[in-house]
Amino acid sequence: MFFLFKIESFWDWSDQGISIRMVPKEEQDIPEPQAGTYTLMNIVLVNADTGIIEAMRAVTFSPNFSAVLTRAFQQQLAAPFDRAKHVDTIAEVYARYPHSKQLAKVANVLERGGSQHA
């Protein structure tokens, strides 16, 4: 699964390949989203060269997107995990879609952060 994002008038499309299985086991608990509630994500953009925080944003996801994200993480937890295969799969995706903007064009779900509808 890839998480793609952009920050209007600040940051063009960027992406991150993610798997709940890459975080410590004790942090893999995925609470069910409550019907009608929004999931909050804090985004911190850090300059890799200086370590200085360049931007911080809090973004909400609609109840629909929150449910989609929860299901995706639950599916990851239910499936067997092979770290080497995970890394290889990410490399294959980047070989096919070398730019985040290309990945965004084939995304399964698009949502504008803070919107009320997915």
Q: Which residue in 107, 79, 80 sits closest to 93, CA to CA?
A: 107
Strand 53-61 to 39-46 pairing: antiparallel
Regarding pTM above 0.85, the answer is no
118 — pLDDT class (breaks 50, 70, 90): very low
pLDDT at 52: 97
pLDDT tens for each residue of 11-26? 899 999 999 999 999 9
92 — pLDDT class (breaks 50, 70, 90): very high
